[in-house]
Amino acid sequence: MRPLAPLLVVLVALSGCKRSAGPQELIVFAAASLQTAFAELGLAFERAHPDVTVRFAFAGSQALRTQIEHAADGAVDVFASADWRTIDALEASGRVEAPMTFARNEPVVVVRRNAQPALPDFDALPRVERLVLAAPEVPIGAYARTILQRASRTRGESFGATVLARLVSNELDTRQVLAKVALGEADAGIVYRTDVRPTDAVAVLTIPADALVLASYPAAVVTRSDTPAQARAFVDWLRGADAQAILRRHGFLPPDEAAR
């Protein structure tokens, strides 16, 4: 399993290059928040399918969608997104097919340690001085704004507006949000729980149930894949017991069987 750098993805997608001979390459575009878990998943899939080599490209779901829209035939095989909005847009244009949810994730507030004023819980968020979020078109950015809207229903209409008034930057993905807070360039942000490591210089605040929106992760086969059978096998495998055990170990929640 080898990573595929985002700039190389663009070159491969636009040049129409043939893939290398040998084991069949499966090129998977995946949301940035999946990077650590998918590194392990890729190795496990290769062990179960020794004739396949998995190559990954990680970025914000919206950036990967743009690359898929401009990709040459066969340049991408699977897309794993951090939201359904991005997948739905690609399915509507005929670029992906038969998507299914394989995991969920919990957004949380991260706070710079020793931040002043102190933010002991989610309800204190209007006191934040410098907030950073992902941009609205990024899945975690959209989830964050929905969370603030939901919180305003029970905490007063000014809750979300007050918090957003302290926004100092919009980032391209969840890892950039976490980095801004950890480096002290912002006092708080909203990321996925799976992003946070014990070594990060942040504290984690749980979002109350009345405001929380869980993130759903769908994966789909790219319709112009050169290896549709292997691509479908990878997507189906993500919902199997082996892959689900790895995802749980990395903090992801199982898919909601009542949903897509």
Can you give the pLDDT at residue 210? 97
Domains 2-104+216-249 and 107-205 share a fold: yes
Sorted by sequence, the CB contacts under 8 Å of residue 93 that are 6+ apart come out as: 69
* The two three-digit tokens of residue 138, written as one number: 């990024």
pLDDT at residue 15, rounded to an integer: 37
Averaged pLDDT for residues 15-21: 47
Specify the CATH number for 107-205; select among 3.20.20.70, 3.40.190.10, 3.30.360.10, 3.40.228.10.
Answer: 3.40.190.10
| The pLDDT value given to residue 4 | 56
**pLDDT at position 17:** 42
> What pLDDT is stored for residue 114 in this prediction?
81
- Residue 140 scores a pLDDT above 80: yes
pLDDT the model gives residue 18:
45
pLDDT mean over 2-31? 61
Percent of the chain residues topping a pLDDT of 90: 83
What pLDDT, on the 0 to 100 scale, is given for residue 154?
95
3-state secondary structure of 57: strand
Q: What is the pLDDT of residues 74-133, one digit of tens each?
A: 899 999 999 999 999 999 999 999 999 999 999 999 999 887 788 999 999 999 999 999
pLDDT at 65 over 50: yes
With a CB cutoff of 8 Å and minimum separation 6, the contacts of 108 are 190, 191, 192, 193, 196, 204, 205, 206, 207
Just give the CATH number of 2-104+216-249. Answer: 3.40.190.10
SS3 percent helix, strand, coil of the chain, rounded to 5, is 40, 25, 35
Instruction: Print burial letters for 134-166: b (CB count within 10 Å at least 16), e (below 16).
Output: bbebbbbbbbbbebbebbbeebeeebbebbeeb
> In the chain, what are the domain boundaries?
2-104+216-249, 107-205
Instruction: For helices 228-238 and 35-48, give the axis angle rounded to 10 degrees.
Output: 120
Average pLDDT across the chain, whole number: 91
Given strand 202-205, what is the order of strands in its sheet?
Answer: 167-171, 131-134, 188-192, 107-112, 202-205
Contacts of 66 (CB under 8 A, 6+ apart): none
Residues forming beta bridges with residue 190, ordered by sequence position = 109
User: Is the pLDDT at 2 greater than 70, yes or no?
Assistant: no
R_g of the chain computed on alpha carbons: 19
Model confidence pLDDT, tens digit, residues 159-180: 999 999 999 999 999 999 999 9
**pLDDT per residue as tens digits for the range 203-229:** 999 999 999 999 999 999 999 999 999
Establish how many alpha carbons lie within 13 A of residue 155's alpha carbon, considering only the half-sphere containing its beta carbon: 20
CA 53 to mean position of chain CA atoms = 22
Which pair of structure tokens corresponds to residue 232?
């479908």
Q: What per-residue confidence (pLDDT) applies to 16? A: 42
Helix (DSSP H) and strand (DSSP E) numbers for the chain: 9, 11
**Confidence category of residue 20, pLDDT binned at 50, 70, 90:** low
Q: Tell me how far apart the alpha carbons of residues 81 and 214 are, in angstroms, rounded to a whole number.
A: 14
Note whether 239 and 255 are within 8 A (CB).
yes
- Distance CA(147)–CA(168), nearest Å, equals 18
162-165's contacts with Cβ under 8 Å and 24+ in sequence apart are 162/126, 163/125, 163/126, 163/128, 163/131, 164/131
Model confidence at 156, in pLDDT bands (50, 70, 90)? very high
The residue that leads in pLDDT, 13 or 180, is 180
The predicted pLDDT at position 260 comes to 64
Mean pLDDT, range 193-202, rounded to an integer: 91
